[in-house]
Amino acid sequence: MNSKLLRKILIILISFLMLFSVVGQFLVSAQEVDGNIPDTSLTHEDIPVDINEVETDQDELRKEPSETEEENLLEEDNTEIDTEILEEEIEENLEDIDNNQEDIVEDDLEEESFTMMPFSIQSHEAESMQTFNVENTEFNFLDNCTTFELVSIKTDGSMINRKCFSNFDTAKQEMLEDPNGAIRAYDSISPMKFIAATRGVAYSAPKGKGATLNIYEVGRNNPNTVTYISDGYDMRYFDTTRYTLNKPDEQIAEIGISGFHGTSYIEGLDIIPMSYIDNKNNITIGRKSDIKQVTFIPSLAHYKIELDDNGKKVIKFIHNEYNTKYTSTIGLAEHDWMKVDPNLSYYSWDGTNFYTSNDYSKESYVGEYYNYYQYLPFRTNSYITGSDLDKFFNNSKSAEFETVMRDTGKYFTQYGLQYGMNPLLVYAMAIHESGWGGSRIARTKNNLFGWNAYDSNPGDASLYPSVDIGIKDHMGFNLRGYMDVNFSKSERMQDSRFQGSHLGNKGSGFNLKYASDPYWGLKIASLAFQIDASVGLKDYKAYTIGLILDKNEYVAKTPNIKNTNGSSVSQNEVYYNFSNTRNYMKNATTTINDENNIFYKTQSIAAIDNNFNVIPIPTSNTPHFDYNWQTSVGYIKKDKIRILYSSIKKAPPIKIMYGDVNDDGEIDIFDYVIIANHILNKKILTGQKYIIADVNKDGDVDIFDYVIIANHILGKKSINGEY
């Protein structure tokens, strides 16, 4: 037998020995995966060790034996073997072992991801968490109780005085006699099983990845969805109004958050007795099947008054999404009731009425506050320039930060003037929606606003050829759906997204329909305040803001109209009112430009043409059109308005350079051609461009304006331009 053959025999024998060893390990591992080791013992640290051990064994299997080992094996076995066949079989067996071990590791990792508790969200501000086992004896139901369990919560979070009831209403009646009372339902999918409490808080916990919680207006029949929020937010809990076992559509709670007071199905809520919050006991919320179940010490959304670096009192908003804490400086603290006290927190479920108690007792009410930027209508201008916006951005983000938003300020100011949108508010919106222009959607799709990136499928976000076009499309096209007020022309369909022309919250404004984050409007308002503060508060209180007291009050075309409310209103004398298709909107606002004895003059939410008619938006495909600042005004009766903010400075002027029709900063041959095409009816000018082309300001764009432009270009008579 030659040495080559002996060498192969030696390799084969060693391979068989190692194969039996690995198979043995494989069988032991399979038993462990089948359940001999509890799931809770698995950790991410354990799994890589197993992988390394298996890889080491297989590396040993493939090593060449030493010369001494070859000689010993040769003395023991001289049998003739078909080495080629055996080598092929060994290689196949090794591949099978590799594949099986990979399957084991994958199974371990998958099981780990579902059983690991608690699920931690990484944040430097996240509350510390402690292990809390919701499956222990304390939280199991009483023996033989498969309906409703009435309990009283102790200061340590344990439960006493446990009774079983077959009827929810009976259990609720007794619960209300105990300030720490609560009811648990056997069929509840909430981790702690609570479905009612004398004093409590509700958390949003919709089922499914990317799902949102629908909230319905009190008094309206479901499923008339009015607004929605994402998971993990604490809400004011008013009451559990109905609960029928095993019938989710008959299990309803009354809740409130960020200005919206409504009802929701309890299967999308976690109701927690207030005792857990007061005594800082751990709670568990979320849905384990969605890998969202979280255990932590709760802290409710609240406000603090602090001094900034310049010694000014500012308001800070603190809220949690699950166990992750967020803090934002939202504005100046100018009301007398706002006290700087590290031990004092303010609570407000609607964002405008504030209390010192988290159960909102009447005795703890301290006052009212409307955030200026949150309630400033979008039909306003700004003193802040494009370079101001760019400077703020560059001071906030280093040159190494990957973004598509740098040096885009000029687009916001340009399109803000053209389409009647406040550039500061839209710029702050872009920062918030795109993560300072650094999000994947922003960088790959030039989409700074998350447009069409729904919670359930963010990959559907709109794609734009450039950031410039994305900004233009948002300010001139996308946002107008949120400004589509209830026009006087009855044949028009109103856009259901209109809930007021301000950022707002879940009670009114863009936030009600734009975003599932209930604090979306306040977060953007916070950014607007920070931008404005960086340039000395140029915009703060530049406008007088009025709160609409009667949603059915119409904005009149002239200050001479007598009948502006009710069914007998003449449709030819008014523009719109502040009602909407859902009839819910709270706290709608408008700007006050001037006044007489009876009326306030206001900037119109609707775009008004040169004939003083509302420019309709019959379909979503209606092209962009300019907003005419001069004609888009109306009048609303003073007794229908409550002033929230009085201006302390002159409102930002609408800067117009007459003759510069294409808005490139020059009056030249290009503007001359545009006016010529208008006169020849080749391309009609409308809105702001029409105003700019009307150089002699006689209300018409005609041959006289054409001659003035020509003389300017020829140097015969210069147009100085008016700003």
Q: How far apart are CA 594 and CA 477, in angstroms?
A: 29
Considering the domain architecture, whether residues 467 and 491 belong to the same structural domain is answered as: yes
Residue 670 pLDDT: 92
| Axis-axis angle for helices 46-62, 3-31 (nearest 10) | 160
Position 219 confidence tier, pLDDT thresholds 50, 70, 90: low
Considering the domain architecture, whether residues 507 and 479 belong to the same structural domain is answered as: yes
Q: Which of 277, 296, 315 is the last residue of a domain?
A: 296
Q: How far apart are CA 289 and CA 283, in angstroms?
A: 18
Q: Which of 601, 618, 645 is the last residue of a domain?
A: 645
Residue 484 pLDDT: 79
Considering the domain architecture, whether residues 485 and 448 belong to the same structural domain is answered as: yes
Q: How far apart are CA 701 and CA 373, in angstroms?
A: 37
DSSP output for 606-658: S-B-TTS-B----STTPPP----TTT-EEEEEGGGEEEEE--SSPPPP----T
In the block, residue with structure tokens 């449709």: 571
Instruction: Determine, yes or no, domain membership for 177.
Output: yes
Residue 226 pLDDT: 80
Considering the domain architecture, whether residues 518 and 579 belong to the same structural domain is answered as: yes
Q: Which of 584, 613, 645 is the last residue of a domain?
A: 645
Residue type, 623: P
What is the extent of the structural domain holding 334? 302-368
pLDDT at residue 42 tops 50: no
pLDDT at residue 43 tops 60: no
Residue 224 pLDDT: 57
Residue type, 106: E
Q: Is the pTM of this model over 0.85?
A: no
Position 2 confidence tier, pLDDT thresholds 50, 70, 90: low
**Is pLDDT larger for residue 387 or for residue 134?**
387
Q: How many Cβ atoms from other residues are within 10 Å of residue 326's Cβ?
A: 14
- Would strands 324-332 and 313-321 be described as parallel, antiparallel, or unpaired? antiparallel
Residue 67 pLDDT: 38
Burial string for 5-32 (b: 16+ CB within 10 Å, else e) reads: ebbebbbbbbbeebeeebeeebeebeee
Instruction: Determine, yes or no, domain membership for 378.
Output: no
Residue 620 pLDDT: 59
Instruction: Determine, yes or no, domain membership for 132.
Output: no
Residue 7 pLDDT: 55
Considering the domain architecture, whether residues 291 and 308 belong to the same structural domain is answered as: no
pLDDT (tens digit per residue) in 650-678: 999 887 778 888 877 788 899 889 999 99
What count of Cα atoms within 13 Å lies in the side-chain half-sphere of residue 280?
A: 4
Q: How far apart are CA 557 and CA 626, in angstroms?
A: 20
Question: What is the mean pLDDT of the segment spanning 68-77?
Answer: 38
Question: What is the mean pLDDT of the segment spanning 537-550?
Answer: 96
When divided into structural domains, the chain yields a total of 5
pLDDT at residue 222 tops 60: no
Instruction: Determine, yes or no, domain membership for 628.
Output: yes
Residue 185 pLDDT: 97
Instruction: Determine, yes or no, domain membership for 129.
Output: no
Considering the domain architecture, whether residues 571 and 475 belong to the same structural domain is answered as: yes
Instruction: Determine, yes or no, domain membership for 402.
Output: yes
**712 backbone dihedrals φ, ψ, rounded to 5°:** -65, -45
pLDDT at residue 454 tops 50: yes
Find which of 27-36, 113-122, 135-144, 463-472 is predicted with most confidence, using mean pLDDT.
463-472
Considering the domain architecture, whether residues 481 and 604 belong to the same structural domain is answered as: yes
pLDDT at residue 476 tops 80: yes
Tokens read off for 717? 């008579």
pLDDT (tens digit per residue) in 17-41: 554 444 444 444 444 333 333 333 3
What CATH number should be reported for the domain holding residue 454? 1.10.530.10
pLDDT (tens digit per residue) in 251-309: 999 999 999 999 999 999 999 999 999 999 999 998 877 657 889 999 899 999 999 99
* Overall residue count recorded for the chain in this entry: 723
pLDDT (tens digit per residue) in 577-588: 887 656 667 789
Question: What is the mean pLDDT of the segment spanning 384-402?
Answer: 96
Respond yes or no on whether the N-terminal peptide bond of residue 223 is cis (omega within 30° of 0).
yes
Residue 62 pLDDT: 31
Instruction: Determine, yes or no, domain membership for 272.
Output: yes
Kindly give, in sequence order, each residue whose CB lies less than 8 Å from that of residue 491, ignoring residues fewer than 6 positions away: none
Considering the domain architecture, whether residues 270 and 307 belong to the same structural domain is answered as: no
What CATH number should be reported for the domain holding residue 662? 1.10.1330.10
In the block, residue with structure tokens 């060790």: 49
Return the minimum-mean-pLDDT range out of 463-467, 473-477, 603-607, 609-613: 609-613
Going from the C-alpha of 503 to that of each of 239, 429, 475, 506, the distances in angstroms are 29, 9, 14, 10
pLDDT (tens digit per residue) in 602-657: 999 999 988 888 887 766 566 788 899 999 999 999 999 999 999 999 999 887 77
In the block, residue with structure tokens 């719109």: 576
Considering the domain architecture, whether residues 407 and 556 belong to the same structural domain is answered as: yes
Going from the C-alpha of 264 to that of each of 147, 161, 252, the distances in angstroms are 21, 29, 6
pLDDT at residue 104 tops 80: no
Residues of the chain above pLDDT 70, percent:
75
Residues of the chain above pLDDT 90, percent:
55
Q: How far apart are CA 82 and CA 87, in angstroms?
A: 9
Q: In what order do the strands lie in the sheet with 194-197?
A: 159-165, 148-153, 181-185, 194-197
Q: What is the mean pLDDT of the chain?
A: 80
Residue 118 pLDDT: 27
Instruction: Determine, yes or no, domain membership for 374.
Output: no
Considering the domain architecture, whether residues 57 and 147 belong to the same structural domain is answered as: no
Considering the domain architecture, whether residues 359 and 408 belong to the same structural domain is answered as: no
Residue 561 pLDDT: 92
Considering the domain architecture, whether residues 415 and 530 belong to the same structural domain is answered as: yes
